[in-house]
Amino acid sequence: MQKLLLSLLIATLLVANETQIYQLDTVSVSASPVHEHNTFESPNQIDIIDGSEKTLKATASLGGILEEFSGVNNIATGPQAGKPVVRGMSNERVKVLSNSSPTDSQTYGIRHILNTDPFIADGIEVVRGAQGVLYGSDALGGVVNVLSPKILSAKEGETKINSEVAGEYHTNNNERMGGAKIQAAQGKLGVNAAVVKRVADNFHTPNADTWEKGDPAIGDKPLFSGELPYTNFETTSALTAFGYTDDWGNIALQHTYWQSFQNYLGHTAAPDFNAVASAGQNLTNNETQLKSELFLDEWILKSALSYTFNQREAATGTPYEDMQAQKEGLIALNKDLYVDIEVKRLDGRLALEHPSIGDFEGEVGIEGFNKDQTLLEGKLAPTATEKGMAVYLFEEADYERWIVQLGTRYDTKNVYAPTDGINTKFVSSGIFDATNNKQYFSGLSGSFGATYSIAPSWNLAGNVARGFRTPSIFELYAGGLHGGVQAYQLGNPELNAESTLGGELSLRYKDEKTKGSLSVYHTMISDYIYLANTGTYTGSLPNMQNEQTDATMQGIEFSIDSYVTDSTNLEGGFELIKGRDTSNDCKLTMMPANNLRLAVHQNVGALGALKNSTFSLDMKYVASQTVAGNHEPFSQYNTMPFGSADTEEYTLWGAGYNADIAMGEQKVQLGIKVTNLLDTQYRDFLDTYKGYALGMGRDISFTLSVPLSL
């Protein structure tokens, strides 16, 4: 079958007959607050996905939409729940921004999803490496900036309107998506609006023999295959924004709403291991942002204020469809079975961008936040507060062949968990007490980066950075049943703040048809916080506790995007990564496997009414990976009578077709994508279902997007 696919690929390459428009570089908004740079110029390694490319990815998963970038992987739990992993770092070491502002979506759990739908976003940027100078704690591994559509402005008396209506359908899980976006401006006043709805049934793996009670095989067969129960979901997201632009500056107010109902597949204890909803969830996020820029001659005064209200309700052993009906009964039976946590967070930033002082332009700023977490029901994470302040300085000099960036930042943070009220259950369980319920952290971050133009098509970029991350409320004080991951999780009040010192070097090439980069990096991490399987159990569930060690991360990333002919585009890349627990001389937990990806896109011109037709064929190879030891999450599946915590190498093939359909003056975009084309049986090391189920089987997705402008 693979030989047949390669033959078809070669045949496709021979029928090229239409010229492509090359667009190999995009301007980033995340790398510098004072200058715009494309990704080729920036000292940081950056990838951007936007426009039709983002729409045609056809996924609700933020990690899934970004995992094709070298150095970015995905902690997946089904097709909708995907968390980005950047250079081996994940969860609270990768800062996810909402339109360049901090947000709080309670992402401390391995399976906790981010409160965003990629369709709403105008673009998504991934900045690798420690970004603490600009973005503070939690940005050790990098930053993912989910950018909202820009607010338009027009000349006095003129009107601008851009809009898009889109739909998706996925055959594997019967997922349906419908969405609409509009940007409008009447003179200096701009208005944006967007809405998207996704509904999906259970997803399917390739069919395989499954373990049954009495089967002596260990690790040879999955517990579940085919249709996986309790993997359905439905999400809704909406955005409204208003902005005003004038000669004096601009001001914008934006509100984003997101809600997700979802189920997670789990299993009962031995001996039967029957399927069960490990947790149903009802997640809600409301976020309001107010931003402004005031032009003061050559100075710019910037302000940003954001308020987030996030609520997480989860019922252990109960699908979301039954949560509300059974809420009171679950709480009465066992207070661990229903968790209801709400977070209110207020963030503020005031910055002053200054004109040239010598060779440098820059920005000085002050930031602060206040986070109130309230445990309404359950015993997973306590009622607690976090308060933080920071000052920072960022400077940049652009010379003829050099771009130089440097900065420094000082952060402080206070964490307080009361010992009374609903928190008394944590105190009585020995999680924390009056001697360790108050924590104070402070740290200094700094970075120096430069890009040197070796020749018109070649440059060399490098960075050295020190990062700083404080432990979260959950890492310090968790204590309870975490139904979504089928574990009992314990915090550690004795945790220190993490700190990193690392560097990277990138060699880049870009001409009219080709863009490529080769990067190497090495990072030393002090007091690295990791979730360890203690080997003990609460009932049938493993106890997982946060511990610390010293560690290193190092890797090599390569990527290339080249039009080898006017109509043939080749993409590819690989990642080699190694994470080491240097204190215990073993691997780090939850590390991605080495991987390689290749893709060819062949434009064949018009096929009747279908214009700009492009066929694609892609391949992803992932090496085998083993757990770091018995302390790694999910390592228990190496000793169960089914499934596996270690994963074998695998290769997945995919295919696609994109085209434009002319409808008057409008251009409808059609996309068809087949993932796991050969319905290959596989497990991915970062798939949280790997211990008892296979990865997702063949899926055919259909995307239709109708952009409109006036």
Distance CA 495, CA 475 (A): 8
Average pLDDT over residues 237-264: 95
Query: Are 54 and 241 in contact, with CB atoms under 8 Å apart?
Result: no
Distance CA 309, CA 346 (A): 9
pLDDT value for 13: 39
| pLDDT reading at 645 higher than 50 | yes
Higher pLDDT, 31 or 413: 413
Q: How confident is the model at residue 14 (pLDDT cuts 50, 70, 90)?
A: very low
| pLDDT reading at 512 higher than 80 | yes
pLDDT value for 343: 95
Q: How confident is the model at residue 331 (pLDDT cuts 50, 70, 90)?
A: confident
| pLDDT reading at 227 higher than 60 | yes
Question: Per DSSP, which regions of 399-513 are E strands?
Answer: 402-416, 438-455, 458-469, 479-482, 487-490, 498-510
Nearest alpha-carbon partner for 616 in 565, 569, 562, 566: 569
pLDDT value for 62: 84
pLDDT digits (tens, 9 = 90+) for 523-573: 999 999 988 888 888 877 788 888 999 999 999 999 999 999 999 999 999
Helices (H) and strands (E) in the chain, counts: 7, 34
In 3-state terms, what secondary structure has residue 320?
helix
Residue 404 gets the label, from left (phi > 0), alpha (psi -120 to 50) or beta, of beta
pLDDT value for 7: 41
Higher pLDDT, 486 or 221: 221
Mean pLDDT of the chain: 89
Give the alpha-carbon dihedral of 470, 472, 476, 482, to 10 degrees: -150
pLDDT digits (tens, 9 = 90+) for 168-222: 999 999 999 999 999 999 999 999 999 999 999 999 999 999 999 888 777 789 9
CA–chain centroid gap for 602, Å, is: 29
Distance CA 244, CA 24 (A): 32
pLDDT value for 484: 62
pLDDT value for 6: 41
Share of residues in the chain with pLDDT > 70 (%): 96
* 238 CB neighbour count, 10 Å cutoff: 17
Distance CA 542, CA 549 (A): 21
What type of residue sits at position 363?
E
pLDDT digits (tens, 9 = 90+) for 34-59: 777 888 888 888 888 887 777 777 78
Which range, 1-5, 37-41, 685-689, is most confident? 685-689
| pLDDT reading at 348 higher than 90 | yes
Distance CA 155, CA 175 (A): 42
In 3-state terms, what secondary structure has residue 15?
coil
| pLDDT reading at 379 higher than 90 | no
Q: Which residues contact 424 (CB under 8 A, 6 or more apart)?
A: none
pLDDT digits (tens, 9 = 90+) for 87-122: 999 888 888 888 888 877 777 777 778 888 888 888
Q: Specify which residues 251 forms β-bridges with.
A: 244, 292
Phi, psi (degrees; rounded to nearest 5) at 425: -65, -30
pLDDT value for 649: 97
Q: How confident is the model at residue 620 (pLDDT cuts 50, 70, 90)?
A: very high
Query: Are 223 and 255 in contact, with CB atoms under 8 Å apart?
Result: no
* 541 CB neighbour count, 10 Å cutoff: 17
pLDDT value for 387: 96
What would you report as the CA-atom Rg of the chain, rounded to the nearest whole angstrom? 25
pLDDT value for 708: 77
pLDDT value for 534: 84
The count of residues in the chain is 710
pLDDT digits (tens, 9 = 90+) for 648-663: 999 999 999 999 988 7
pLDDT value for 254: 97
What's the pTM? 0.91
Query: Are 389 and 382 in contact, with CB atoms under 8 Å apart?
Result: no
Distance CA 375, CA 365 (A): 33
Phi, psi (degrees; rounded to nearest 5) at 324: -65, -40
Query: Could you say which DSSP state residue 483 is in?
Result: G
Maximum alpha-carbon separation in the chain:
79
Poorest-confidence range of 171-175, 489-493, 677-681?
489-493
Cis bond upstream, residue 418 (ω within 30): no
Poorest-confidence range of 57-71, 222-236, 435-449?
57-71
What type of residue sits at position 535?
G
Q: Which domains does the chain have, with CATH numbers?
A: 2-709 (2.40.170.20)
